[in-house]
């Protein structure tokens, strides 16, 4: 079992920045990839960015010029630096990870509870 704990959300003015963090904890696992998704009110959950164990990244086209995903492998933590925030970035941001559980010899996907981001003046 793996737990994800997100932090860093909050209220920010348009044009401002926020940095989200997500730490994975548990035992006997290896992270294959970690990422961020978001869900705005009345909309489906959408990909924001993903980073693989090898460091490869993938971004949603609408966010790749403003958001940066990074990781600290030693801490099993992924970050999302969000700059030039817009009101339409308001959403609950969920951390996601695909891990290999050694005792199960297969991969699983876990989700965090989410952290609210509000962009408003």
Contact 104/31 with Cβ under 8 angstroms? no
Contact 20/8 with Cβ under 8 angstroms? yes
Contact 87/81 with Cβ under 8 angstroms? no
Tokens of 2: 């793996």
Q: Which residue in 7, 4, 5 sits closest to 80, CA to CA? A: 7
- Tens of pLDDT, residue by residue over 26-73, are 989 999 999 999 999 999 999 999 999 999 999 999 999 999 999 999
The DSSP-derived string for 48-113 is: EEEEETTS-EEE-TTTTTTEEEEEEGGGTEEEEEE-S--GGG-EEEEEEEEEEETTTTEEEEEE--
What average pLDDT does this structure show over 3-31?
95
**pLDDT at position 15 over 90:** yes
- Tens of pLDDT, residue by residue over 80-118, are 999 999 999 999 999 999 999 998 889 999 999 999 999
pLDDT at residue 90, as a whole number: 97
């Amino acid at each position: 079992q793996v737990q994800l704990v997100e932090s860093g959300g909050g209220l920010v003015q348009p044009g401002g920045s926020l940095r989200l963090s997500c730490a994975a904890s548990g035992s006997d696992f290896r992270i294959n990839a970690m990422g961020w998704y978001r869900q705005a009110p009345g909309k489906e959950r959408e990909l924001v960015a993903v980073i693989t164990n090898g460091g490869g990244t993938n971004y949603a086209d609408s966010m790749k010029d403003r958001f940066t995903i990074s990781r600290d492998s030693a801490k099993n933590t992924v970050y999302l630096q969000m700059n030039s925030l817009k009101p339409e970035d308001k959403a609950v941001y969920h951390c996601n990870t695909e891990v290999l559980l050694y005792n199960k010899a297969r991969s699983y996907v876990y989700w965090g509870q989410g952290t609210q981001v509000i962009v408003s003046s």
